[in-house]
Structure 1
Amino acid sequence: MKPATYWIDHLGLEPHPEGGYYKETYRSSAQVSFPDYQDQRNVSTGIYFLLTKGNFSAFHRIKSDEMWHFYAGDSVSIFIIYPTGELKEIRLGLDLENGEVPQAVVPANCWFASKVSITGKYGLVGCTVAPGFDFIDFEMAKQTKLISRF
């Protein structure tokens, strides 16, 4: 298995504000309007996203659905808190016999976080967002708010 630095260097990944490394790889030129969004949004966006051992993507939410795709490394756990308060863990990876899946969707407006498997070194994934990602739709969770709500 190639080291995480291989992917960071060869894909030109940079630190992401929520943790890990990323690079935007796609932003559609077409735009769309929805009542719940300020201004127009690109129809879709895509990124590479890499998490390393001891690093995690903190709980946050966005207004769009986000599809995750597994590419390389160790499995990645995605923790989703649905508006009902239900907590679900999805293990993204290629070990299908042990419950991993190569793709998963985080529904819009759900709180979610992710980390590499406990024995893993890193996980390289892709994320596709539709309508496209915009930081104006991004909300980082406050621990006290999540604890009081859920």
Structure 2
Amino acid sequence: MIPRKAQYYIEEFAMLKHPEGGWYKETYRDKGIIPASELKEFGGDRSYSTAIYFLLTNGNPSVFHRIKADEMWHFYDGDGIVIHELDEAGRYTEHRLGLDIEEGEEPQLVIKGKSWFASEVVNENGWCFVGCTVAPGFDFEDFEMAERKTLIEQYPEHSALISRLTSS
């Protein structure tokens, strides 16, 4: 069951189900374009930047995925979340996004491009409403869902976490 205030945001902003989990609504796509010739790793033109609203509920995590660009997360409402990051060098970082600064949460943080990451609300019956800003702008062509077996082969010491936060 989706908490009432979370349901309000989903309906008010006409949010869509995201392939990684949760709900999203694109709120900004810069009209400026970076040409493909300047973005060798991206395979096409990209907007300067994009922004979305993103909403998660407990039991409906954002599973491991990655994008090519850096992604800045902004906390807006609800419960804090944990973002699990596995970077290209093999390091694991647990980020805490929220407003409980004394407990180690941050109101905004950046996940580096090409890192694998997943996020989850840990409070029972919890939910969170956040924003994500990507530059160069997000394109689903740059989005890759993790395959459980492959990710475990790369990061065997995190197999339990990966098994829990992958869909295949």
- TM bucket normalised to smaller: over 0.9
Deviates more, 1:100-109 or 1:117-126: 117-126
C-alpha separation in 2, matches of 1:20 and 1:53: 10
Aligned with 2:44 (options 36, 39, 48): 39
Aligned with 1:81 (options 82, 86, 102): 86
C-alpha separation in 2, matches of 1:13 and 1:45: 16
Deviates more, 1:86-95 or 1:111-120: 111-120
Aligned with 2:71 (options 57, 63, 66): 66
1:28 is aligned to 2:33: no
Aligned length: 150
Q: Which residue of 2 aligns with 1:7?
A: 9
Q: Which residue of 2 aligns with 1:116?
A: 121
1:2 CA displacement: 5.9
Deviations 1:38-65 (A, max 9, x none): 1110000000000011000010000000
Cα RMSD after superposing both structures: 1.3
C-alpha separation in 1, matches of 2:129 and 2:15: 11
Percent identity of equivalent pairs: 51
Please give the secondary structure, in 1, of the residue aligned with 2:44.
coil
More helix by share: 2
C-alpha separation in 2, matches of 1:135 and 1:6: 26
More strand by share: 1
Contact 1:51 1:122 in 2 (8 A): yes
TM-score normalised according to structure 2 size: 0.86
1:117 CA displacement: 2.2
Q: Which runs of 5+ in 1 are unaligned?
A: none
Letter in 1 for 2:87: Y
Q: Which runs of 5+ in 2 are unaligned?
A: 156-168
C-alpha separation in 2, matches of 1:125 and 1:62: 18
Letter in 2 for 1:46: A
Could you list the structure 1 runs, at least 4 aligned residues long, displaced by more than 4 angstroms after superposition: none
1:118 CA displacement: 3.3
